[in-house]
Amino acid sequence: MNRPNIVLITTDSQRWDTLRCMGSDFAISPHLDRLASEGVLFEQAHTSSPVCSPARCSLMTGLHTPIHGCIENGIKRKHPLPMFTDLLKEQGYTNLMIGKTHFGAIPDSFDVVHEVTEKSNDASDAYAKHIAAHGYPRKSAGVPNPVPESLFMEAFLIDTAIGEIERTIAEGEGPFFAFCSLVSPHEPFDPPGRFAELYDDVELPPIRYEEGELSAFPQHMKRLLGLTAEPSGEPRGKKELKHFREQSGKSDREERIAEVERIRKHYYGSAAYCDEQIGRLIAYLDKSGLRSNTLVLFTSDHGLQMFDHGFNDKHNYYDATWRVPFIMSMPGTLPAGEKRDFAVWNDIPATLLAAAGTSSPSIQGFDLFTPLVQGQPSPRRCAVATLYKSAAVAIERWKLEYYFEEKKGRLFDRLADPEERNDLFDRQEYGEIRHRLVEALLNWRSDLVDVDELIRSTSGGGPVARRIAPHTRSMRGVDSEIRLNEAVEEIAALRYP
């Protein structure tokens, strides 16, 4: 089999509306728009968990957070766990890791590693050595950033990726998998050069926020977003603008608005800078003749609120955070200029392995590659995610969030209320749809198991153990996703005004 090369490009904290091809009428994203026109755009792609490390651990393992154990930043995933790069290595791939990891221990199946951390520190990493040689600080110097566009972190990562791909090809080390993990537009929002002013004359949509929203959030959200009192009695966020401060039903929005607009424009400028750098990598693949035999997948680990609903963070299920860009392109193999609906980050490892001609029974995600080659729709009928001690499901019309400790949730009509302002969870007339969605989500959550561990540990026992063993060995990680698909398709058929 002539296995294709694979390039996985991720950014950090990139909202869906940073891409014009996703329907944003103000976004500046010519290179990713072109990639979408030459491939397939998933318009309803969502991250597996709307926060950095849990999402990235799901990417590497193909497991949902309750199974790999990293349910929030600062909580380590279980180790050891099989990684999809291990299977690529078995297929003869040279695996290149360039950029931010944030998924715990780097597996030995990566042959080359150029790791960086965030821009806000003075880490002694691959970028530090590069930037020091040019006389600039490793730590972000704010805006305007003194580092030239050609030396900034994303340019360095793209240059490094191109260099390592060229070396791999020259040395004849087989097909390559290049994971190019960019750090921007993650804060600090410090785009270099002209990108710091790129959005100066662009009118951004008004912030989607109503007075009192923050105080009405579920306790789970408040805890993660720092909206509850710290042990000292001081609310988090007092010294940095992470959210509007609400007191007596009023917020400090108006006095903060100029600062918020500056932050927003620098954020979108950072996303546009990533777009240009990604364009350089795609241009290299075109010019070198690699493009037709290289699967390119672009996405982001989660979005960011940018003060919609009153705060600037992730750790929530609003579309601005949970929904992400997701583009696949391989000219001549995948269709061009087409759109599909749902994809989830857990689908990425299954998809890349399918392109490489292999698979893993433990992955809790769908292969999106084979259906695209065959001209079929996405096999995923919904988005599903977990966040700390909560879970959520989204179908075309409905989104349900459920918080286990509070035994409560939130329900939104995605078609009638795209800005997610009206929580219908406690409305009597939506009782049936709420009940069916809660049942489907909780059934899915209870259905999650570590298939790999179950199969490996199944041996011996008495007559019952021997009877059930074949069923256990036939389990697949994707089974829970298939059963959720079936449940939500029934729910989608329910008629509501």
pLDDT, tens only, 234-268: 444 444 789 999 987 789 999 999 999 999 999 99
Q: Walk across the sheet containing 390-394 and list its strands.
A: 383-386, 390-394, 398-403, 408-413
What residues does 41 pair with on adjacent strands?
327, 339
Sign of the dihedral defined by the CA atoms of residues 273, 140, 99, 241, in that order: negative
Determine the pLDDT at residue 248. Answer: 76
Taking residues 61-90, report their average pLDDT. Answer: 97
282 vs 33, 150, 268, 297, CA distance in Å?
Answer: 12, 17, 21, 11
Q: Is the peptide bond before 54 cis (omega within 30 degrees of 0)?
A: no
- 247 burial (CB, 10 Å; 0-12 / 13-18 / 19+) is exposed
What are the pLDDT digits (tens) for 383-396? 999 999 999 999 99
Question: What are the residue ranges spanned by the domains of the chain?
Answer: 5-203+257-381, 214-254, 390-492
Q: 356: which 2 tokens?
A: 């490489």
CA distances from 232 to 235, 236, 363, 441 (A): 8, 10, 43, 37
What are the contacts of 431-438 at 24+ separation with CB within 8 A? 432/494, 433/398, 433/491, 433/494, 433/496, 434/400, 434/409, 436/487, 436/490, 436/491, 436/494, 437/393, 437/398, 437/400, 437/411, 437/488, 437/491, 438/400, 438/402, 438/409
Span 210-230, average pLDDT = 91
With contact defined as beta carbons under 8 Å apart, do 150 and 196 qualify? Answer: no
Phi then psi dihedrals of residue 409, to 5 deg: -150, -170
| Of 11-25, 433-447, 451-465, minimum mean pLDDT range | 451-465
Chain centroid, CA 85 distance in Å: 18
Encoded amino acid at 343, one letter: A
| Position 153, amino acid | M
Q: Given this structure, which CATH class describes domain 5-203+257-381?
A: alpha beta
For 287-345, the pLDDT digits (tens) are: 999 999 999 999 999 999 999 999 999 999 999 999 999 999 999 999 999 999 999 99
Answer yes or no: are the C-beta atoms of 436 and 494 closer than 8 Å: yes
Query: Among the listed ranges 8-22, 129-143, 357-371, which one has the minimum average pLDDT value?
Result: 129-143
State the average pLDDT for the chain. 95
| Segments of 196-251 assigned E as strands | 246-247, 250-251
Local confidence band at 61 (pLDDT 50, 70, 90 cut-offs): very high
Burial class (CB in 10 A: 0-12, 13-18, 19+), 474: exposed
Q: Which of 328-357 are b and which e, b meaning 16 or more Cβ less than 10 Å from the residue's Cβ?
A: bbbeebbbeeeebbbbbbbbbbbbbbbbbe
